[in-house]
Amino acid sequence: MYIYRARVFDTPTNPFTGGQLRSETDIALVVDDGKIIARTDIGTATTAHPDAEVIDLRDGILIPGLIDTHVHYPQIRAIGHLGKPLLEWLNECALPEEEKLVDDAYARNVADEFLTGLIGSGTTSAMVFGAHFASAVDILFARAAELGLRMTTGLVTSDRNLPEPLLTTVDRSLSESQQLIDRWHGQSRLRYAVTPRFSLSAGPELLAAGGQLVRDNPGISVTSHLNENHDEIAGVAQVHPQAQDYLDTYDKAGLLDRNTILAHNVHPNDRELARMAETGAAAAHCPTSNSALASGFFPLRRHIEAGVKVALGTDVGAGNGFSMFKEGVQAYFMQQLDPNGGQPLTSAHLLHLATKAGAQALDLDDKVGDLSEGKRFDAVLVRPTTGQPLDVGITNAADDEDALAKLFAMGTPADIAGVWIDGQPVK
């Protein structure tokens, strides 16, 4: 048993609906077998648990483990490309790299690099966009299980409009996906997600096969892309002439429910927003990717007004890194700049989007997302180097919300001094 004595920031209540930042300067979290069994003052904690080891973290700020709801495993080596819109970037940058994961040795190296990047940035739970090759996905599951990451991922499927090595068939996608589900879903902290790449590269039969997997395997998730770019949306309409809009391609296939996360949704219509709210499907907002590919301004206010769940994703490798702090501050920038009038965001909104909202999107909020009694101890200690700008900013902050704003503005993976998943230190 451990008692973590710390300055703790989290957002158990939703700032978009009247909640606010919960900040404590000196609080004790009593953790037994990975679970927070008490959240109290240090005197009460040590009296109740005299044998527990006290770990003093008050030289930093402890926040809930960060939750990345959209990040591509095979794209770590594609991060940082400049100057192309989505379809050009896919063809010239991302897809040639993704083809290389046909080689298991290559995939093993990429899986290690990817998981190092993710955990090193303080991400403790993630919806990971997998690879087009079943053995590369198996390698990722195995490595994530060893490291203890709370990860949902799956085999990416496509049957058209991509380079031939990345294509599959309905039958092959069903059998390979089912094998991965049987092997990994529910093991360790792992879950499976049916993952059609997007409706531009998946016809109605392949999407319907994904719906079949969801019906056959209750509790598995779904992830894909939605309404990212105007050329992409026009292409989807050609592949799916019977669908009323992009979202409807997934809906017709039985892929929409509360375990569905759809990345981007920069250009939704009102019907799509209403239907996402009705089904419980979440949007993964990926602001550095939307900026890098010039996809557009994410209509956050319309999502919130429609009642759609929204969380943050890095979208590595179109997004330019694993840092959820960077995504948070980029979300803020883009809402500030949106010519249609963005949603004003405080630092409490940013923390909520990067933690609790992600837990809700991943249907993990009974376990993680904040540091309340009863939750698992998934946590990140931010402790900047003394004298560096982030340290100066936090030391001189006007109040806790201001300190949190500085954390999002200046925090980097180098400032992350500790990461725990289920009470286990992983960094």
378 binds Zn ion per the rule CB under 5 A: no
Indicate the pairing of strand 35-40 with strand 22-32.
antiparallel
Please, what is the minimum distance in Å from the beta carbon of residue 124 to ligand GUN? 23
315 binds ligand GUN per the rule CB under 6 A: yes
Q: From the list Zn ion, ligand GUN, none, which binds 202 (C-beta under 5 to 8 Å, kind-based)?
A: none
Q: From the list Zn ion, ligand GUN, none, which binds 197 (C-beta under 5 to 8 Å, kind-based)?
A: ligand GUN
Nearer to ligand GUN, 121 or 161 (CB): 161
Please, what is the minimum distance in Å from the beta carbon of residue 315 to Zn ion? 5
Token pair in block for residue 263: 């990345």
SS3 state at 317: coil
Q: What is the largest CA-CA distance in the chain?
A: 68
Nearer to ligand GUN, 70 or 349 (CB): 70
Size of the site for Zn ion (CB under 5 A): 2
> DSSP state, 10?
E
Nearer to ligand GUN, 198 or 420 (CB): 198
Q: What are phi and psi of 355, to 5 degrees?
A: -135, -85
Nearer to ligand GUN, 315 or 422 (CB): 315
Please, what is the minimum distance in Å from the beta carbon of residue 318 to ligand GUN? 4
Residue showing tokens 């999002």:
408
The footprint of Zn ion on residues 257-286 (CB under 5 A) is: 263
E strands, 13-96, are 22-32, 35-40, 53-56, 61-64, 66-72
Nearer to Zn ion, 263 or 364 (CB): 263
Which amino acid, one-letter code, is at 269?
N
Residues of the chain by 3-state class (helix, strand, coil), percent to 5: 45, 20, 35
> DSSP state, 65?
P
Nearer to ligand GUN, 114 or 377 (CB): 114
Task: Tell me the window of 132-140, 145-153, 185-193, 314-322 that interacts with Zn ion (CB under 5 A).
Answer: 314-322
The footprint of ligand GUN on residues 195-254 (CB under 6 A) is: 197-198, 225, 228
228 binds Zn ion per the rule CB under 5 A: no
Q: From the list Zn ion, ligand GUN, none, which binds 198 (C-beta under 5 to 8 Å, kind-based)?
A: ligand GUN
Please, what is the minimum distance in Å from the beta carbon of residue 365 to ligand GUN? 26
Counting every residue, how long is the chain?
427
CA gap 132, 73 in Å, rounded: 11
Say if residues 72 and 314 touch (Cβ distance below 8 Å): no
Handedness of CA 16, 19, 25, 26 (dihedral sign): negative
CA gap 251, 211 in Å, rounded: 9
Nearer to ligand GUN, 83 or 387 (CB): 83
318 binds ligand GUN per the rule CB under 6 A: yes
Please, what is the minimum distance in Å from the beta carbon of residue 317 to Zn ion? 9
* Nearest Cα residue to 385 out of 412, 360, 367: 412
The single residue among 7, 22, 72, 326 that binds ligand GUN, judged by CB under 6 A, is 72
Q: From the list ligand GUN, Zn ion, none, which binds 240 (C-beta under 5 to 8 Å, kind-based)?
A: none
Task: Tell me the window of 36-44, 86-94, 118-126, 327-335 that interacts with ligand GUN (CB under 6 A).
Answer: 86-94
CA gap 107, 212 in Å, rounded: 28
Nearer to ligand GUN, 72 or 185 (CB): 72
Burial of 385 (0-12, 13-18, 19+ CB in 10 A): exposed
CA gap 147, 355 in Å, rounded: 20
The single residue among 11, 177, 289, 314 that binds ligand GUN, judged by CB under 6 A, is 289
Nearer to ligand GUN, 317 or 418 (CB): 317
Residue showing tokens 């490309």:
81
CB burial string 83-106: b at 16+ within 10 A, e below: ebbbbebbeebbbebbbbbeeeeb
68 binds ligand GUN per the rule CB under 6 A: no
Which amino acid, one-letter code, is at 17?
T
315 binds Zn ion per the rule CB under 5 A: yes
245 binds Zn ion per the rule CB under 5 A: no
Which residues of this chain interact with ligand GUN, rule CB under 6 A? 72, 86, 90, 94, 197-198, 225, 228, 289, 315, 318
Which residues of this chain interact with Zn ion, rule CB under 5 A? 263, 315
